[in-house]
Amino acid sequence: MGPRLARDLHPGAWWLWALGMAAAATRTTNPLLLVLIVAVVGVVVSARRSEAPWAKGFGAYVVFGLVVIALRVVFRMFLDGGDGAHVLFRLPEIPLPEAAAGIRLGGAVSLEGVLAAVYDGLRLATLVICLGSANVLANPKRLLKSMPSALYEVGSAVTVALSLAPQMVESGRRVMRARRLRGEPGRRLAWFHQVAIPVMADALDRSLMLAAAMDSRGYGRTAGATRAGRTLTATLMLSGLGGICVGTYGTLDTTTPRVIGLPMLVAGVALAVGGLAAGGRRVPRSRYRPDRWRREEIGVALCGLGVAVALGIVASVDPDALNPSLQPLSWPALPLVATVAVLLGALPSVIAPQPRLAAGAST
């Protein structure tokens, strides 16, 4: 059997894999497991990202995750860092009026409070990195092409929003490269208006150009929609979303009647699907060479969803294994089942085919 041909994987498969890894991260505060999830995501990104300019911003998401952890620790130390027996140091405490009873600024900072902030910040940073990996691996423009016809209105706005972060990363690289070529010293005080503002302005301009290009090609427009059809579609969608919200709440809250749980959730999903089908009939669209789901796409999506399901089962059976104790303080351990499940999330680095080079990168 010869080598597989290079091709771009369906963007929906990458998003399902990344959402599965992110969902797994929400089930644990174990720093060892969270670092392992980040490492697995990094391996897949380094093995299967393309040479497109927007695919080179994974490092920016990692830096942003570190900033999130640092901010979480700083806020915890100043607001509520004394919850624990092992006091590290004391900050000057600011007295507050009686109306702010229960709020403390400054004071003792304990090891337990700092570790709790690190765990929570690391979990949020892992979510950012997982979703950032989807932006790096999946082309949002191809994702819009694969959306159902009824979601073109929402898909156009989502595509512009998703393209903003990659555009900012690419703009930042170009601005910094231009500054180095001009030999500018890069003074810290002048960095904001010389680098940050041009980067944000350029990224916003390019996203608006994308929105204008999609509008000129008819994205998000309806054809021959009657008032009755629009009313039916809106009613089905709003009823379906309401049923999904109520059913989700009833499923999570065990004190509610059973009829509010799973039956309401199923009814909401059915109404939402009906609304999508009704809306799709009034938005005729033709696709040139549509992206198809093959064995590789299914395998990549199942890897991410499998990790999420496995950690959900472990969290329900042995929650202490995924959430190390801070009271009393204990060293976190790596549970075997959860570790194996997270490592299976690295299979897309082997399952997925090599991506095609960007048009401008090929010779």
pLDDT of residue 4: 61
User: Which has more confidence, 85 or 314?
Assistant: 314
Q: Is 354 exposed, middle or buried (0-12, 13-18, 19+ CB in 10 A)?
A: middle
Q: pLDDT value at position 1?
A: 42
Q: What is the pLDDT of residue 156?
A: 60
Mean pLDDT of 237-259: 76
Distance CA 286, CA 276 (A): 17
How far apart are the C-alpha atoms of 306 and 299, rounded to whole Å? 10
The pLDDT value given to residue 307:
93
What is d(CA 287, CA 25) in angstroms, rounded to the nearest whole number? 36
Least confident of 145-159, 205-219, 286-300: 145-159
Q: Token digits for 194?
A: 């010389």
Q: Give yes or no for a cis peptide into 185 (omega within 30° of 0).
A: no
Distance CA 39, CA 343 (A): 9
What mean pLDDT is reported for the chain? 76
Closest CA to 29 of 128, 131, 124, 112: 124
pLDDT, tens digit, for every residue of 42-60? 999 998 887 776 677 788 8
Q: How far apart are CA 187 and CA 181, in angstroms?
A: 15
* Dihedral sign (CA 64, 65, 70, 76): positive
Taking residues 89-104, report their average pLDDT.
Answer: 69
DSSP letter for each residue of 45-105: HHHH--SSGGGG-HHHHHHHHHHHHHHHHHHHHHHH---SS-EEEEEEEEP--GGGTT--E
